Amino acid sequence: MYDLVIIGGGPGGLSAGIYAIRLGLNTLLVEREMVGGQIALSDLIENYPGFPSISGAGLMEKFEGHARGLGLEIKFTDVQDVASQGNVKVLKTSDGEITTKSVIVATGAKPRRLGVAGEKEFTGKGVSYCATCDGPFFKGLRVVVVGGGDTALKEAVYLSKMAKTVYIVHRRDQFRGEKIQQKRAEEASNVEFLKSHTLKEIKGDKVVEKVVLEDLKTKETRVLDSEGVFIFVGINPTTDFIDVDKDESGFIKTNQKMETSVPGVFAAGDCRTTPLLQVATAVGDGAIAAYTAADYVEGLS
């Protein structure tokens, strides 16, 4: 019987683990794939305090080393279900059941991929899903933003402050984003709209150099010079395995203490409703969730 099981080994989960161990909780962290999460795939991070420039994998190695050094137990298994039996939570995993007094869900979210040729090969080499993370690398360059919702329009405006030219590619002839976001994009002098277009292929040698677009009205193909491609067509949270209150997109609803609708179940990081998906915010969530879990476990005794 554990005091706490943390599901997910990204920044939020590892942060929760560090704080939980320091708070004296008998803690287990379970991870399905690899410790580090999505951020471990980033080539370069320049906005995490204390590390002016470091790879995502390098930063997460430091997180993991810190957590393991404190004695955090880490197990690789796939959590399929979380059920409450009184004050006990039972996790059904691919390796059997785990029982615990409390749970922190820190499973993150994954950007929705387009699945076009070149997308996978150039991820981290010109293809990005986070303008806040990678935008500064494209100062003075040409970039393509794919999407037509609020996120795509906001990120295009953000990128317009540093990029030479921003092309917004949207498959419909009308944007889905709020009118105010459209207006801000229209007011940016270096933003060009390519409505009724789809991205068909991303090309380059070692990094992105060109994109192939299709005009859905004329069916003509257009090759555009571009050093970067930012894709904003949605985010999928990893929350299907747990039954708690979620928003319409599947993100877990929490209060400021990271409490979910189920007592003893907490959430941290990108899997919960949050206005910013960043390592720094996930770390803060994890710390708060650990403290709240510790208070909850103490209240059971």
pLDDT along the chain (301 residues), means of 10: 97 98 98 88 82 91 97 96 95 96 95 93 92 90 94 91 96 88 92 96 96 95 96 92 95 98 97 91 97 97 80
Helices (runs of H) and strands (runs of E) counted in the chain: 6, 17
pLDDT of residue 181: 86
Residue 292's φ and ψ, nearest 5 degrees, are -65, -40
Cβ atoms 275, 261 nearer than 8 A:
no
Residue 246 Rama label (left phi>0; alpha psi -120 to 50; beta): beta
In the chain, where are the structural domains located?
A: 2-110+235-300, 113-231
Note the pTM of the prediction, 2 decimals: 0.78
CB count within 10 Å of CB 183 equals 11
Q: Vertex 151, ends 36 and 205: CA angle to 5°?
A: 65
Looking at domain 113-231, which CATH architecture does it have?
A: 3-Layer(bba) Sandwich (3.50)
Does the active-site annotation cover 130? yes
Distances (CA, A) of 292 to 16, 122, 241, 243, 257: 10, 40, 22, 20, 6
If one looks up domain 2-110+235-300 in CATH, what number appears?
A: 3.50.50.60
CB count within 10 Å of CB 291 equals 17
Among 3, 134, 270, 285, the active-site one is 134
Q: What is the C-alpha separation between 241 and 64, in angstroms, rounded?
A: 25
Pull the structure tokens for residue 78. 């796939």
Which residues are within 8 A (CB) of 295 and not within 5 positions of it... i.e. 6 or more apart? Answer: none
Among 78, 81, 130, 215, the active-site one is 130
Distances (CA, A) of 229 to 10, 50, 118, 122, 163: 25, 28, 11, 9, 12
- Convert 152-175 to b/e letters by CB count within 10 Å (16 or more is b): bbbbbbbbbebbebbbbbbbeeeb
Instruction: Evaluate whether 2-110+235-300 and 113-231 have a shared fold.
Output: yes
Q: Vertex 53, ends 49 and 59: CA angle to 5°?
A: 70
Among 43, 78, 95, 133, the active-site one is 133
Q: What is the C-alpha separation between 72 and 67, in angstroms, rounded?
A: 6
Write the burial class of residue 120 (CB in 10 Å: 0-12 exposed, 13-18 middle, 19+ buried): exposed
pLDDT of residue 199: 97
pLDDT of residue 43: 67
